[in-house]
Amino acid sequence: MTHLRSYLFTVLTCVAGLLATMATAQDFDALVASLPDGNFDDRAAVVGQIAASGDDRAVGLLEALSDGELQVLKSDGRLVIVTDVKGVDIAADALTGAEAGVVPRRGASAIRVNNSLRRTIGAAIGILTLSSPDPARRLTAAEAAFRAPDPDQLDLLQTAILDETDPRVSAALKSAIAATTLAGDSTVADKLAAIAILKTQANQAALGILTPLVAAPDAQIAAAAADAVDQIERTQKLWSGAQNVLFGISLGSVLLLAAIGLAITFGVMGVINMAHGELVMIGAYTTFAVQEVIRNSFPFLFDWSLLIAAPLAFLMAGAVGVAIERGCVRFLYGRPLETLLATWGVSLILQQTVRSIFGPNNREVGNPSWMSGAFDIGHLTITYNRLWIFVFALAVFAILLFVMKKTPIGLQMRAVTQNRAMAASMGIRTGWVDAMTFGLGAGIAGLAGVALSQIDNVSPNLGQSYIVDSFMVVVFGGAGNIWGTLAGAFSIGIANKFLEPYSGAVLAKIIVLVCIILFIQKRPRGLFAVKGRAVDG
Amino acid sequence: MGLIDRRMGIFLAGLFILTVAIPVGNLLIDGKPVPSYLVSLFGKYLCYALLAVALDLVWGYCGILSLGHGAFFALGGYAMGMHLMRQIGDRGVYANPDLPDFMVFLNYSELPWFWHGFDMFWFACLMVMLVPGLLAFVFGWFAFRSRVTGVYLSIITQAMTYALMLAFFRNEMGFGGNNGLTDFKDVLGFNLQSDSTRAGLFILSAIALAAGLLIAKAITNSKLGKILIAIRDSESRTRFLGYRVEEYKLFVFVVSAMMAGVAGALYTPQVGIINPGEFSPANSIEIVIWVALGGRGTLVGAAIGAFLVALTKTLLTGWLPEAWLFALGALFIFVTLFMPTGVLGVIESTLRRKPAPKPTQEASV
Amino acid sequence: MTSFRKLLIGASLGATLLSSTALAASEDGPIKVGVLHSLSGTMAISETTLKDAVLMLIDEQNKKGGIDGRMLEAVVVDPASDWPLFAEKARELIEANEVDVVFGCWTSVSRKSVLPVFEELNSILFYPVQYEGEESQYNVFYTGAAPNQQAIPAVDYLMANEGVERWVLAGTDYVYPRTTNKILEAYLMDQGVAAEDIMVNYTPFGHSDWQTIVSDIKTFGSAGKKTAVVSTINGDANVPFYKELGNQGIEATDIPVVAFSVGEEELAGLDTTPLVGHLAAWNYFMSVDSPENDAFIDTWLDFTGNDDSVTNDPMEATYIGFNMWVKAVEEAGTTDPDAVIAALPGIEVPNLTGGTSVMLPNHHITKPVLVGEIQDDGQFSVVWETDGLVAGDAWSDFLPESAVLTSDWVDLKCGNYNTQTETCGGS
C-alpha cells in the first residue's frame, strides 16, 4: 500500500508537470483554496496536485468537485460541500467537514467544471481508487483508465492487475493496459499483443482505439490493426441484424402497450374511442403524481414507484373510462360513428384538464434504478427500460387474455359484444358489463401510460402522438382479436426498424403506412379477421 | 323534389345576402362597417363549408366515412399554392426569377419536374381538381374493389392522410417542408393583400359553395343518388340487386375529392399559407365533426356545421384563450348526445313543432 | 372586442348598415399589447411560459406607471399551434383589437404565416426565439439568436476545448435545423473537417423512438476521433432522445451533445443526472450571476407563485424586446408603428447576463453567446462565453445565396439588399 502510494505520488506529480518536492511543500488546504481561481486548465493542474498530495480527503473532495457540490459561499467566501437533503441545500466545510448551515437560494456558487476537467478528475480518482477495497470502485477506476489511456499510468495498472482477484475488474484492467500500451511508446511486440487483446473484445470502444492505428507508421502494427478493425466491423455487421430485431421488438412492445387498450374499446366493443390517447396520458400523469408524493414524503420508496403507480394508473384511467362510458358512450351504442364525435370532445376536455392542473410543460418522471442503464449480450446492447417495457407489455397482454378467456366477467364481455339481446335475455346485466369492458380497456391504456412515461414526454400532448399508431395496429391486426393486436404491433415495429437504417426514420414510417394500406386491400379485415358481426355488422 | 327545395332555398338566399353584404360593407360603404379581416375570415369559412359538403356527399349519402378528406383539401391547396409561388417570380428574398425562396435555400439548381406548368393559371386550376381526383380514384379503385368497408376504410383513409403529412414534412419532397408555401404576392395580377382581391376571392368561394351544393344535390336527387343511398343503407343488398357498388362509390368519392380540392385551392390564397399541418389526421376528424354537428346527409347542414364550428373556434380562442377547448369539447359531446340529427335537424323539427325524427339507420357505417 | 362581436353577429345576420367606424387608436386610452403564443396544441409546451412572461412584464411596467402615464393592457389570444390560425389571430389582434405591438410566435412557420399580415397592416412583431436567419422584415424585430449568435460559437468551443474532429449534425426535419446544419457544414469544411467526418441526420417532429439513431451515433463515434453531436432536435423529441442517450450509456465525457433547442424548460421534464456535461449554447442561462438576472428570477417566481419554475433564453429575449419597445415608445412619444419602428434601431437596454444589448439596423440585436453544461439539478453551468457581444446577422455569410445580401432598415431601408447588384430584392 505504501509502495503503491509513493508510486502514485511520483506518477502524478509528473502528470501535473511539477517537481515532487514542490508538491510536498504545498499545503493541501492551500491547494484546495486555490481551486476557484483561474481557468479550467489551471484547475486541472490543481486537481493533479490534490490527487498527488496523498491526503485522505482528496477523493471526497474531487468527487464533490466533479458533481458540482463543491461551492463557494457568497457570504464569507468559504469553500463548502453542498448536499441536497430533502430539497434543502445543506453546506459543510470542504476541509473540516464542519456543518455550515442551510444555503439560501443563490447563496453559493459552484466551482465550475467542464467535460475535459471532469475527465481529468475521473482519471485522478481512478488512480486513487485502483486499490480501493470495493471491487465496484476498482471497476470504475479501470474503466476510467481505459477511457482516458495515459501512458504514464501503465506501470501502475500493471501493478494493480497482479493483486487483482475479481475477474471482472481483472478483465477491465487488461483492456485498460492494452489501451494504455497502444497510447504510449511501448515495443512493437507489446503493441501487437495489445491489439490482439482488443480484437477479442470486439466492441465499439475497441474499434475506437484501433481505427486510428490503421494509419500507424509501423507497418506491422498498421496491418494488425487493419485486420482487427476489419474483423470487428464484420462481427458488428453480423450482429446488427439481430440488433434491428431487438429494436423492432422494443418498438413493437411500445406499440402493443399503446394499442392494447384500444383493442378492447375499439376492437371488441366497436367504440371509435378517440380519447384513448388521453387515457394513456392519465396513466402517465398518475405515475408522475405518485412519484411526486414519493419524492416529497417517502424517498426510500422511489424504486417501487412504478409498481405503486401501476395499479393506481389502472384504477384512475379505468374510473375515467367508466365515467366516459356511463356519461356518453352508452347512449351511442348502435351509432358507432357518433362515438367518434363524442370521444373526440372528451379527449379535448381531458387534454385541457390536464393542462390546467399540471401546466402545459413536460413533467419529470424518473427512472427507478432497475430501469436505468444497459447491459450487453454478445454484441447487443439492451437497455433495461426497453427490456422491462417488453416484459410489462407481455404481462399485460397475458393478463388481458386471461381475463377475457378464463373469467366469468370475460365470458360475459364476449357474450355481450357478440349478441347483446341474447346476452341480456340470459340475465347478463349488459349495461354493467359494457361499463366494465370499457373500464378495462381504459385501465389498460392507463397501464400503458405508466410504461410510456419512462421513455417519452409526460405532457398533455402525450396521447395525441400515439392515437393514430394505435388505430393502425388494431386495424392491421384485425379488430376484435387481441392476438391480432399482438402480431400487428410486433410486425409493424420490426418492419419499421428494419427499414429505418436504409431509408431514414420518416420514409420508414411512410413505407410502413403504405404497406398497411395495401395489406388491408388484400385482407380487408386485418391480419386475424374475426368472423361474424362483432365489429361493424 | 326539385334541385332547390325549401332548405336549400333558404340557405342559398342567406348565402347570397352574405355574399353581397360583406363585400359591399367592406368596399363601398364609408367607414368600413365590415373590416377586411372579416372578409378573409368568412371566405375561409366558406371554403370549410364546401369541404364539409364534399364529405357529406360521400359520408351522408354513400356511407363512406373518410377520415382523410383533409388530404384532398390540402392537395388542392398545394396545387394552388404552387401557382402562387411561381407568381412571386423574382420578388422573393433571393430575387431568383425561377426558383421559389425555399428551393434557393435548399440548393436546388433547377425546378423539380413536378413544378413545371404551375406558372400557368389554367394548368394549376386543372391540377387542383385532377390531383385530388386522381388520388381518390387510385385509392378508391383499390379499396372499393377489395370491399374494404366501415371502420377499416376510415382507418386506412386516415393512414393515407397521415402518410401524406409525413411525406410533405420532408424537405426533400420539394414542397417547402414544414413551412409549406407562403409569402404569396398576387393571383392573375391582382394583389392578394388588397381589399378588392379579397372580396373577389370571397365571392368566388361563395359561388363555389353554391355550385358545390347544387352539384351534390343534383347527384343525390338523380337515380344514381338513390343507388348511393341504397349502398349506404345496405351495401350487400344493393350488390345482390345487380348494381356495381364499387363503381358508384368510386364515382362519388372522386367527385367529392375534387370538390375538396377546389375548397383547398380557394382557401390557400385567403389564409396566405398552405403547409403539411393541413394533412394532419386531427384536421380530417374535425371535418367529420362539422358534418355530424350540422346534420349528416343534409348537405346544407354540413355547410352550416362547418360554419358554426369554425366561428365558435374563432370566437372562443379570442375570448377564452385558456379554456376554449373545454367549451368546444363540451359542445361536441352535447350535440352528439342531444342532437342526433345535428343542428339542422333540431332547427327543422322545432320549426315543424314535431318531435325530432328517429335517427336513420346509422348502425350501418 | 365588443365591436368585433357586434360585427360578427351583424355581418352574419346581413345587417350591414350597422356602422362602427374603426377608431384610430386613441392617444389617452390604455396601450394594447397583443400576445400571440399557442396555449394549446403541440407548441403550448414551450409558448405558454412566454405568454406569462409578457403578462409579467406588462404588470411590472404598469407598477412603474405604464408608459408616459398610459397603462398597458394585454390582449391574449390562442392560435392553438395551428399555423393558418396564427395569421387569422394576428389579423384579429391588429384590426379588431387595435393592439399597438404584438409579442409572439415560436416556430418559423408561425412567423412566416403572420409576416404578410404585419406587412399589410403595418404593425410591430417582436419574435423572441432563436431561428435560422435568412429574413429581415420591416415590421419584425428578432430578439432571439441568429445562427451566428449560437451555432458557430458553440462549434468553436468544442473544437478548441474538446478537440472534436468528428461531427454528427442531428436535427428535426424543418427549416431551422436545415439551415443551421447547412451553415455548420460549410463552416466545418472551412475549418478543414473532412466530409466523411460529418454525419447529418433528420428525424420527424415528435420522433420518439431513438434506438436506431443513438446506436448509429455510437458507431459513428467509435472511429477513434473525438466525436460530438450538434443537436437541433426540436421540442418534444428531445426528452426521449436524451433518455435513450442516458440509457445506452453515452456520456458527455465520451460523446458530448451540444443542443440549440434545449433549455431549462425542456430539462424540467427530465432527470438530468445521466446527462451531466452535455452542452447547450444560448444567449442566456438561468444560472447566470448578475443583479438583473437575480431580480428577474425573483419577479418571475413571485409571478408564477411556484418556486420550481424556471426561466430560459426565449424569456430573456422577450424581456429584452419588451424593454426595447417601451424605450422606443417613450422616445417616439407615440405608439404609431412607423415612429416606433424608426426609433427602435439604436435603442440600448440591459440584458440579463450583465451586458447591454443594442437593436441593430437589421432588426436583430447584439447578444453574448454562452456555452453551458447540463448540471444534475436541471440547470446549466456556463463553461465558456464570448468576450463581447455578437451582432446578429440576418443573412449568413456561409451560404452562397445569402452571403451577398445585407439588411439595413436605417440607411438602405431594405431587408435584403444585394451588395453585388446594389438593388433591394423583392420590391
pLDDT tens-place string over residues B199-249:
999 999 999 999 999 999 999 999 999 999 999 998 889 999 999 999 999
Q: Which residues between 92 and 111 in chain A have a beta carbon less than 8 angstroms from any beta carbon of chain C?
A: 106, 109-110
pLDDT band at B1 (very low <50, low <70, confident <90, very high): low
Q: How far is Cα C69 from Cα C72, in angstroms, rounded to an integer? A: 10
Tally of domains in chain B? 1
Taking only the tens of pLDDT, chain A with its 537 residues reads: 445 444 544 444 444 444 444 444 457 888 888 888 888 888 888 888 888 777 778 888 888 888 888 888 888 888 888 887 777 788 888 888 888 888 887 788 888 888 888 888 888 888 788 878 888 888 888 888 887 788 878 888 888 888 888 888 888 888 888 888 888 888 888 888 888 888 887 777 888 888 888 888 888 888 888 888 888 888 888 888 888 899 999 999 999 999 999 998 888 888 889 999 999 999 999 999 999 999 888 888 888 999 999 999 999 999 999 999 999 888 887 777 788 888 999 999 999 999 999 988 888 888 888 888 888 887 788 889 889 999 999 999 999 999 999 999 999 988 888 888 888 999 999 889 999 999 999 999 999 999 999 888 898 888 888 888 999 999 898 887 889 999 999 999 999 999 988 888 888 999 999 999 999 888 888 888 765 544 443
ipTM of model over 0.95: no
Rounded to the nearest 5°, which phi and psi values hold at C6? -55, -40
Chain A interface, best mutation among C172, C210, C212, C278, by max A CB count within 10 A: C212
By the CB < 8 Å criterion, does C178 face chain A? Answer: no
Name the residue facing A348 among B155, B293, B325 (closest C-beta). B325
Helical ranges in chain B per DSSP H = 6-23, 36-62, 69-88, 101-105, 121-145, 150-169, 195-221, 223-233, 235-240, 245-271, 281-294, 300-319, 324-338, 342-351
Among candidate residues C110, C135, C140, the one with its CA nearest the CA of residue C123: C140
Q: How far is Cα A329 from Cα A331, in angstroms, rounded to an integer? A: 5
Quick: pLDDT tens for A382-417: 889 889 999 999 999 999 999 999 999 999 988 888
Report the Cα A62 to chain-centroid distance in Å. Answer: 27
Q: How far is Cα C256 from Cα C250, in angstroms, rounded to an integer? A: 8
Q: Which residues between 315 and 334 in chain A have a beta carbon less than 8 angstroms from any beta carbon of chain C?
A: none
**pLDDT at residue C14, as a whole number:** 35
**pLDDT at residue B354, as a whole number:** 53
Q: How far is Cα A234 from Cα C293, in angstroms, rounded to an integer? A: 55
Chain C interface, best mutation among A40, A105, A115, A367, by max C CB count within 10 A: A115
Compute the nearest-CA separation of B116 from chain C (Å).
22
Compute the nearest-CA separation of B109 from chain C (Å).
12
- For residue B53, pLDDT over 90 is answered with yes
Q: Are A41 and A57 in contact (CB under 8 A)?
A: no
Q: B220: Cβ–Cβ under 8 A, 6 or more apart, which residues?
A: B57, B61, B228, B229, B299
Beta-carbon separation of A506 and B163 below 8 A: no
Q: How far is Cα C328 from Cα C68, in angstroms, rounded to an integer? A: 12
**pLDDT at residue C4, as a whole number:** 47
Collect all residues of chain B within an 8 Å Cβ-Cβ radius of residue A510: 163, 166-167
- Average pLDDT of span B337-354: 81
- Average pLDDT of span C369-381: 90
Q: In which element (H, E) is residue C172 found?
A: strand C166-172
Q: How far is Cα C310 from Cα C265, in angstroms, rounded to an integer? A: 6
- Average pLDDT of span B262-272: 94
**pLDDT at residue C371, as a whole number:** 94
- For residue C23, pLDDT over 70 is answered with no
The domain of B164 spans: 6-277
Q: How far is Cα C88 from Cα C97, in angstroms, rounded to an integer? A: 13
Q: Is residue B174 domain-resident?
A: yes
Question: Which residue in this structure is represented by grid cell 451555432?
Answer: C151
- Average pLDDT of span C146-165: 90
A6: number of Cβ within 10 Å: 12
Name the residue facing C19 among B18, B33, B166 (closest C-beta). B33
pLDDT band at C11 (very low <50, low <70, confident <90, very high): very low
Quick: pLDDT tens for A195-233: 888 888 777 788 888 888 888 888 888 888 888 888 888
- Angle at C182 (CA atoms; ends C176, C184), nearest 5 degrees: 100
The distance in angstroms from the start CA to the end CA of chain B is 26
Nearest CA in chain C to B166: C204
By the CB < 8 Å criterion, does B91 face chain C? Answer: yes
Collect all residues of chain C within an 8 Å Cβ-Cβ radius of residue A506: 173, 202-204
Quick: pLDDT tens for C27-70: 568 999 999 999 988 888 889 999 999 999 999 999 999 998 89
| C264 residue type, one letter | E
**pLDDT at residue C20, as a whole number:** 34
Quick: pLDDT tens for B55-92: 999 999 998 999 999 999 999 999 999 999 998 888 88
User: Which partners does chain B have (≥3 C-beta pairs < 8 Å)?
Assistant: A, C
Q: Is residue B309 domain-resident?
A: no
* CATH 2.30.30 assigned to A239-522: no
Collect all residues of chain B within an 8 Å Cβ-Cβ radius of residue C82: 277
* Cross-sheet strand order for the sheet of C31-36: C72-77, C31-36, C101-104, C125-127, C140-142
Please give the share of chain B, as a percent, with pLDDT higher than 70: 96
Among candidate residues B295, B331, B283, B265, the one with its CA nearest the CA of residue B84: B265
Quick: pLDDT tens for B303-327: 999 999 999 999 998 888 888 889 9
Q: Which residues between 32 and 51 in chain B have a beta carbon less than 8 angstroms from any beta carbon of chain C?
A: 32-38, 40-42, 44
Burial of A198 (0-12, 13-18, 19+ CB in 10 A): buried
Name the residue facing B152 among A506, A510, A525 (closest C-beta). A525
Compute the nearest-CA separation of A181 from chain B (Å).
48
**pLDDT at residue C15, as a whole number:** 32
Q: Identify the structural domains of chain C with CATH numbers, from first to last.
A: 2-146+298-368 (3.40.50.2300), 148-285+370-387 (3.40.50.2300)
- For residue C196, pLDDT over 50 is answered with yes
Beta-carbon separation of A328 and B146 below 8 A: no
B181: helix, strand or coil = strand
Q: How far is Cα A316 from Cα A305, in angstroms, rounded to an integer? A: 16
Report the Cα C223 to chain-centroid distance in Å. Answer: 36
Report the Cα C336 to chain-centroid distance in Å. Answer: 25
Chain B interface, best mutation among C401, C417, C423, C424, by max B CB count within 10 A: C401
Q: Is residue B343 domain-resident?
A: no
Question: Which residue in this structure is represented by grid cell 481561481?
Answer: A37
DSSP state of A266: I
**pLDDT at residue C86, as a whole number:** 94
Collect all residues of chain B within an 8 Å Cβ-Cβ radius of residue C174: 169, 171, 177-179
Name the residue facing A272 among B151, B160, B162 (closest C-beta). B151
Q: Is residue B299 domain-resident?
A: no
**In chain A, which residues fall in CATH 1.10.3470?**
239-522
Q: What is the mean pLDDT of chain B?
A: 89
Q: Are A394 and A382 in contact (CB under 8 A)?
A: no
Collect all residues of chain B within an 8 Å Cβ-Cβ radius of residue A522: 146
User: How many Cβ contacts (< 8 angstroms) between chains B and C?
Assistant: 174
